[in-house]
Amino acid sequence: MTDATPVDESVPAEPSATPEEVSERVNNRSQRPVSEAFKAFITSRWAPRPDLGVEASTASEYTPARRAGLSARFPGARLVVPAGSLKVRSNDTDYRFRPHSAFAHLTGLGTDEEPDAVLVLHPTASGEGDPDGDGHGTDHHAVLYVRPLAARDTEEFYADSRYGEFWVGARPSLDDVTTLTGIEARHVDELRDALAKDVGEDGVRLLVVTGADESVETLVEAIRTEAGVEQVEDEEATDEQLVEAASELRLVKDEQEIAQLREAVARTIEGFEQVVGSLSRAVAHRRGERVIETTFDAHARLEGNAVGYETIAAAGEHATTLHWTTNDGVVRHGEMVLVDAGVEVDSLYTADITRTLPVDGEFTEVQRRVYTAVLDAADAAFAVARPGTKFRDIHAAAMEVIAARLEEWGLLPDGVTAEVSLSAEGQQHRRWMVHGTSHHLGLDVHDCAQARRELYLDGVLEPGMVFTIEPGLYFKADDLAVPEEYRGMGVRIEDDVLVTADGNENLSAALPRRPEDIEAWMARLRG
């Protein structure tokens, strides 16, 4: 990583008159030239910027309907949806930027677009019809406030290590943003006045998606305070309700979202194929789990934006730690390895798939027994996943199989049948699967998490919903409630499921999940 300012040893930095405060010493090492000669030279003699050939994104055909959905819930309110800002990883280095999912959904922007941008849905006088001219007659007009590319005669151009073109590359111009998204783009410096316009007791109500950008939330608070309006909880529309609505808007995916999820799944399946190819290297390495992790993650970066969440590469007993992401363990012959991983494509939709693989390519008898129980539980969940089923009943279907199998194996406590265990007062079987069977999937791996319970857990499945089915069984090495042969193994099988008009489609069906299919697939891949 390069020092945060251009180095020119020949031009001494201006000496400080007083010692710097500790908090200001972040650029202590900097030797930025300050001479007028340097400034005049570095800001001159650049060729005209090339036309980047930006075109309208495919998503831009779909985002007007998404914004209209939000608009309809909040007539007359100004809706503020920040992309978020850069987050410090340590000292003066940031994490790679990833916009907030509500912003990505409503603008169609993805990858690292665009730090500090803010989408605002401005209320328009009722009856204005179709202010955006996009065929969606809503009472809001969308404007994207962005930090556009700075001109080459600015200090930002060459000296700003966070935003400058010399440091992080050229950002799109306002025109480029509009072409790409179909949304009017304005300079972020106009945001304050735009948000404050007509806000007041009897004026416009200002609502912000919280949790994305603290500085925008602080700005909204300041505008409310100046206007003498405070956000109170029993108001008919609150920030929380906006967050909830933005989440619920994603419960049913449109065509473009489903296409992106298919793409994410396809890239993820390729990643799993590469993982199988890496297993002999993994066994040979002292941190074999890292071989698996880095194999998958490299594929995710090459073919997508990134991983959608930290890859879980859990060999042997580590598989009983549900979110094992340290991935520093050895991969041993004879054991299984649980790999839970997803490629997030450039639009930021992610897959979320788990396979539990025998390291040597063949399951032992006891591994197969546990694996088959989990597979049967998954199949039972698939069998009920169709329009009209309650979301929570997918889990119930899987748990019936898990409890029955545990009873058959004599693992439930004395006197506890599967039926007793399945009752609300029982639930003993959950010792070996403490997580849920399903979650919605989309831009967030745990998508739609802020949706109301009646639309999520108690919600009814509709065509276009996408979620996981991911039962598991986890027997810890020190679990005295199970016979020794089960100890130290964890199995999870996770697929991504689309609800169709009359049932469901397993989007990840191309990745083998039956034991015999896994064995044949591994044998083929390993030659």
Written as six digits, the tokens of 226 are 């100046």
* C-beta of residue 438 within 8 angstroms of C-beta of residue 431: no
Residues ≥6 apart with Cβ < 8 Å to 515: 363, 368, 371, 372, 375
In the bound state with Mn ion, the residue whose beta carbon lies nearer, of 212 and 493, is 493
Q: Which is nearer to Mn ion, 176 or 352 (CB)?
A: 352
**In the complex, least distance from residue 508 CB atom to Mn ion, rounded to whole angstroms:** 11
User: Closest CB to Mn ion belongs to which residue?
Assistant: 340
Contact by Cβ (8 Å): 407, 417:
yes
Length of the chain: 527
Classify residue 70 as exposed, middle or buried by CB count within 10 Å of its CB (0-12, 13-18, 19+).
Answer: buried
Closer CB to ligand GLY, residue 223 or residue 341?
Answer: 341
Nearest approach in angstroms of CB 494 to Mn ion is 5
Q: Which of 352, 447, 495, 519 binds Mn ion (CB under 5 A)?
A: 352
Q: Is 340 in the site for Mn ion (CB under 5 A)?
A: yes
* DSSP state for residue 76 in the 8-state scheme: T
Shortest Cβ 468–Mn ion spacing (Å): 4
106 or 351: CB nearest ligand GLY: 351
Q: Which stretch binds Mn ion (CB under 5 A): 115-123, 216-224, 350-358, 510-518?
A: 350-358
The entry of ligand GLY, Mn ion, none near residue 447 (CB within 5 to 8 angstroms by kind) is none
Would you count residue 468 as binding Mn ion (CB under 5 A)?
Answer: yes
Residues 473 and 433 sit within 8 Å (Cβ to Cβ): yes
Asked if 438 is part of the footprint of Mn ion (rule: CB under 5 A), the reply reads no
CB 31 within 8 A of CB 99: no
Minimum CB separation of residue 447 from Mn ion in Å reads 10
Interacting residues toward ligand GLY by CB under 6 A = 309, 340, 352, 439, 445, 470, 494
495 belongs to the binding site for Mn ion (CB under 5 A) = no
Question: Per-residue DSSP letters for 163-182?
Answer: T-HHHH-PPPPHHHHHHHHS
142 versus 265: smaller Cβ distance to ligand GLY: 265
Partner in contact with 309, chosen from ligand GLY, Mn ion, none, beta carbon below 5 to 8 Å by kind = ligand GLY
Report the residue closest to ligand GLY, judged by CB.
340
Helix (H, G, I), strand (E, B) or coil at 206: strand
The DSSP result for 419-483, as a single string, is: HHHHSTT--GGGGG--S-S--B-SSSSSTTTTS-TTTTTT-B--TT-EEEE--EEEE-TT-TTS-
Closest approach of Cβ 323 to Mn ion, in Å?
A: 9
- The option from ligand GLY, Mn ion, none interacting with 318 (CB < 5 to 8 A, set by class) reads none
Quick check: 461 and 498 in contact, CB under 8 A? no
User: Which residue lies nearer to ligand GLY by CB, 136 or 440?
Assistant: 440
CA distances from 246 to 140, 180, 182, 243, 349 (A): 15, 22, 20, 5, 16
The nearer residue to ligand GLY, 164 or 471, going by C-beta atoms, is 471
Least distance to Mn ion, CB of residue 462, Å: 20
Tell me how far CA of residue 215 lies from CA of 162, 212, 245, 509, in angstroms: 17, 9, 22, 44
Min. distance of Cβ 314 from ligand GLY in angstroms? 11
CB of residue 453 vs ligand GLY: minimum separation in angstroms? 19
Q: Which is nearer to ligand GLY, 68 or 375 (CB)?
A: 375
Q: Is 356 near Mn ion (CB under 5 A)?
A: no
- 214 φ, ψ (degrees, to nearest 5): -60, -35
List interacting residues with Mn ion (CB under 5 A).
340, 352, 468, 494
